[in-house]
Structure 1
Amino acid sequence: MADLKDRVKQATGDQEPPLEGPQPHDVALRDDKLAWLQGHKAYFTDALPRHVDQAHFTAVALSVMPNLKNCTNASIMRSFLACARFGLEPDGRQSAIVPYKDVATFQPMYEGYIELMYRHPRVDSVHFGWIREKDQWDYTPTEPSPRDFFHKPRVDLSEEERGPVILAWAFAWIEGRRSQVIILNRQQATQIRDKYSKAYAKAEREGKRDSTWHTEFDAMWAKSCVRRLVKVVPTSTELSELISADDDADEAGSAPAVIRGTVISRDDQGDSEQQPSAARWPETAQPRSGGEDGGETP
């Protein structure tokens, strides 16, 4: 019978995730966590919606366990149950499991919000993007939809040549009609951060500057834009509960880490400020604007 290490490789379809340090006790701790998850996976896979593949979800969960080696088993289980409840993979794109001291915390990402919007039978599609300084764009609210908004990226230029990000935008198509366009600039994102983020305020008071708003401003900026879109699309109980879970994560405080994927917060509520470690932005989401951290809460 294959040992645990081989089973993990088979489940993830790749090499076993690298450890944070070569110490033998770290290896033992990691393997213990993986064994624990294997023994308890039925608890969260049974909660998955039918459209989510259990084997794939378990493989993703196994791949993030090394980052949670110092977290309590109870908090890890609660976080995975939250992922399963919403049918979101803990891959750092749809959602993330963020270690905050010894507590694992569920945090939805912008793709998770979009995923839940798509599940509403009236929503045809959801779109998000960044406008850079040299892009062609126009927004005239008094024009009828969809002529009120236009964005054409400069595909003949590199991202650096297109200039820094100046706006985030999002909209949805609902039963063949386009929703209101949500447009958020950097100053608006900063105002949302200052007004609603408890994690940011806590980090400022403690002089740590380690909240997501400090370390990944652009991620929070994007997340805020998409969360604001929630107000103008058909809502569901599931989507409302996801917003509440996101706000609860912000209550937990802040944790230094790196986000993989754009994080979404809420325009008129608190946003979640924790990030999974050893992760990276997806190419389609990363603005790489070089500006200060950003995000917002609808």
Structure 2
Amino acid sequence: MSDLKDRVKQATSGADNQQPEQAPVTDLAVVDTARQWLQRRQTYFTDALPRHVDKAHFMAVALAAMEKLKDCTPASINTALLACCRFGLEPDGRQAAIVPYKDVATFQPMYEGYIELMYRHSRVDSVHFNWIREKDQWDYTPSEPSPRDFYHKPRVDLSEEDRGPVILAYAFAWIDGRRSQVIILNRDQATKIRDKYSKAYKNAERKGTKDSAWHTDFDAMWAKSCVRRLNKVVPSSHDLTELLQADDDADDTMSAPPVIRGTVISREDQPDTDEQQTPSASWPQTAQPGSGAPDDDGEPGEQS
């Protein structure tokens, strides 16, 4: 009996009495808080959607995007989601994306979002985008009348890899039963657009972070640059003009907050700069499981 007591005493004393550290749960708690914040404002966002957008599906996509935005301020997420609602584009990474830059969530339209808005014009019958690969059959003769000026036949007998690398992006639209001019963009042209116009790319190069969209997904930006040029040949609309402006504003978000027409962002919600750190809004502090402390029901823009 004494031996048993000694073993019990030894097991509950000294170094053996130390409890293993609990796995961190802060990130999960913050994600849950962000999702709860969005769910409480579901009607606020769905009421801003155009009638043709499926509200339940939009909210499901928005909820799925919240995990990567857990470090962003509620005010910037609010602004970015309102931009998605304004244009009726889902933040699914195809029509639009909400990209975190430091603690600022930024609305960025993608090439499918541009196509979606072009489709909405009553005169536009269809919009097409595709890639030409090295071994595809294609021809472009600008002097020929439409539609004989352009021809592309993908090698369906080959896998995508066997077709070779992408060499061209192209886009065109059918308007009132006639095909528009074909917009063709090669990699070198896309690179020149990036170098000349993208402030986000220049900032990422200067800082050495290499985290702009041109760094992380060149092909997506190449495709968007091609479809954006199609804007010059399709019928214009107010929504499409606004989307172009919002896209340009988003590119400058590393040095200034995104500007969404009709939305005001306070000075406190602007992103930090390298020269000066400014206080920003954050998610309310979340109680750890089992602590017995209630969660703070913070509103967008509250200081933690």
* TMscore range, shorter length: 0.7 to 0.9
Deviations 1:57-107 (A, max 9, x none): 111111111111111111111111100010001111111111111111111
C-alpha contact 1:113 1:227 (8 A) present in aligned 2: yes
Q: Distance in 2 between matches of 1:229 and 1:23?
A: 49
What corresponds to 1:245 in structure 2?
246
How far off its partner does 1:214 sit? 1.8
What corresponds to 1:8 in structure 2?
none
What corresponds to 2:43 in structure 1?
42
Deviations 1:262-281 (A, max 9, x none): xxxxxxxxxxxxxxxxxxxx
Report 1:256-275 matches (<5 A): none
Residue aligned with 1:142, SS: coil
What corresponds to 2:221 in structure 1?
220
How far off its partner does 1:218 sit? 1.4
Q: Which runs of 5+ in 1 are unaligned?
A: 1-21, 255-298
What corresponds to 2:274 in structure 1?
none
| Stretch of structure 1 that moved more, 155-164 or 123-132 | 155-164
What corresponds to 2:116 in structure 1?
115
What corresponds to 1:88 in structure 2?
89
What corresponds to 2:33 in structure 1?
32
Deviations 1:213-269 (A, max 9, x none): 122111111110000001110010100000111011100139xxxxxxxxxxxxxxx
Q: Distance in 1 between matches of 2:119 and 2:216?
A: 29
Q: Which runs of 5+ in 2 are unaligned?
A: 1-22, 256-304
What corresponds to 2:9 in structure 1?
none
Q: Distance in 1 between matches of 2:218 and 2:28?
A: 34
| Stretch of structure 1 that moved more, 145-154 or 94-103 | 94-103
Q: Name the % identity.
A: 76
Residue aligned with 2:161, SS: helix
Residue aligned with 2:211, SS: coil
Q: Distance in 1 between matches of 2:205 and 2:100?
A: 20
Work out which of the two has the higher radius of gyration on C-alpha atoms and give 1 or 2.
2
Q: Distance in 1 between matches of 2:209 and 2:37?
A: 33
Q: Distance in 2 between matches of 1:211 and 1:172?
A: 30
Report the residue type matching 1:236 in the other structure.
Answer: S
Q: Distance in 2 between matches of 1:86 and 1:53?
A: 13
What corresponds to 1:279 in structure 2?
none
Superposed CA RMSD in Å reads 1.2
Report the residue type matching 1:73 in the other structure.
Answer: P
Q: Distance in 1 between matches of 2:35 and 2:204?
A: 32
C-alpha contact 1:43 1:81 (8 A) present in aligned 2: no
What corresponds to 2:164 in structure 1?
163
1:209 paired to 2:210 = yes
How far off its partner does 1:40 sit? 1.1
What corresponds to 1:140 in structure 2?
141
**Which segments of structure 1 move beyond 6 Å, counting only runs of 4 or more?**
none
Report the residue type matching 1:242 in the other structure.
Answer: L
C-alpha contact 1:168 1:222 (8 A) present in aligned 2: yes
What corresponds to 1:293 in structure 2?
none
How far off its partner does 1:190 sit? 0.9
Q: Distance in 2 between matches of 1:73 and 1:195?
A: 33
Q: Distance in 1 between matches of 2:50 and 2:137?
A: 41
| Stretch of structure 1 that moved more, 24-33 or 125-134 | 24-33
Q: Distance in 2 between matches of 1:188 and 1:54?
A: 39
Report the residue type matching 2:121 in the other structure.
Answer: H
What is the total number of aligned residue pairs between the two structures?
233
Query: TM-score, normalized by length of structure 1?
Result: 0.76
What corresponds to 1:61 in structure 2?
62
